[in-house]
Amino acid sequence: MLAIGGAVMSREDIGRDRYVSLYPIHPFGAAQGDLPKARPEDLAETAHLRFDPISACNARCVFCHSDFSHAVKHLTLDDLGAVAAVPMPKLHTIAVGCAYEPLMGKFFETYPSVLQSFRGQAKARIITNGALLHRRDIGPWVEFGLEYLHVSLHSHIPEVYERTMANGMRFDRIVRNLAEIRARFPGVRVLFVNVICKLNDEDVGGYCRWAFEEIGADQIVLFRAVLADAIQSRAPAFAFARQYLAEQGRGGALTDEEWGAVVRDCAPFLQGAVASELPELGASISTLTMDRPTP
């Protein structure tokens, strides 16, 4: 981790690409004052920039590994500006959000103006649960160049969605929000991500049909949830794993057989699908990516 202004950044080289992530606070609660300062050369080769506008989330997804007990802080315009001031000729992707909920950030609509030097060079992606889309305006990001809206939506069954997302999240609200976005920005691609555990593995084939046919999603990515032993003890995933084991006598993650059943349930949508294994959290995460069927 490196300090840049009042924020914290991480740098990772994967293959030939450099990934830089920017956080308002240290994601593990460590003191920022002891971190070495970021240098221009740490950023110059960046291909992918990801930043969290705020260290908070309005959901508590049961498989989430983030610790929400730390202070809530917004990423300032000056801190993002300190990154944007460095020439990054290889930059082609800007991801807004991931560990937290970007639509809660008070500068959400203003960030594109800070990043104007990269307009036409890089495309943006907004990674959100979508619950606040009726309160925030993605228009400035569409004008900047929005590649897609990435929505974490973990069931099409209202009660399953609400118990999986937790914290008072409402299914009817997200459905209305997506309909409004589709009407206002018909050219923006919408991707759904569904992280599947035992709490929300019901009728995943029906979820795909609903997402493609009723909502008009362009792509669905299914993740097989991993509830690792080493996750932070205050993360929602830890509490869920412990509670599910106590109540059900088994883990809350899917077995190989159960994940296979999910894949079979999605059979009508598997033409051209891409399956992969990703090293993460000391385990292997299975994913399945499906595009909307062509007529």
Average pLDDT, the chain: 90
Q: Does the pLDDT value for residue 139 go beyond 80?
A: yes
> Count of alpha carbons within 13 Å of 258, Cβ hemisphere only?
16
How much is the average pLDDT of 137-150? 97
167 Rama sector, left if φ>0, alpha if ψ -120 to 50, beta otherwise: left
In the chain, pLDDT over 70 holds for what percent of residues?
A: 91
Residue 284, pLDDT score: 46
Query: Taking a C-beta distance cutoff of 8 angstroms, is the pair 167, 157 a contact?
Result: no
How does 42-53 read in b/e, with b if 16+ C-beta sit within 10 Å? bbebbbbbbbbb
Q: Structural domain boundaries of the chain? A: 2-291
pLDDT band at residue 283, thresholds of 50, 70 and 90?
very low
Most confident range (mean pLDDT) of 130-139, 227-236, 241-250 is: 130-139
Residue 27 has pLDDT above 80, yes or no: no
Share of the chain above pLDDT 90, in %: 68
Specify the higher pLDDT residue, 3 or 95. 95
Cα separation of 261 and 270, whole Å?
13
Judge whether 208 and 71 are in contact, CB under 8 Å. Answer: no
Return the pLDDT at 227: 80
Q: Which amino acid makes up residue 271?
A: Q
Q: What is the pLDDT of residue 273?
A: 59
pLDDT of residue 91: 97
List all residues 6 or more positions away from 12 whose beta carbon is below 8 Å from its beta carbon. Answer: 18, 19, 20, 21
Q: What is the mean pLDDT of residues 139-145?
A: 97
| DSSP character string of 175-215 | HHHHHHHHHH-TTSEEEEEEEE-TTS-TTHHHHHHIIIIII
Q: How do residues 256-281 score in pLDDT, each as one tens digit?
A: 889 888 988 988 888 765 555 544 43
Could you tell me which residue, 12 or 141, shows the higher pLDDT? 141
User: Which residue in 141, 145, 90 sits closest to 119, CA to CA?
Assistant: 145
CATH 3.20.20.70 fits 2-291, yes or no: yes
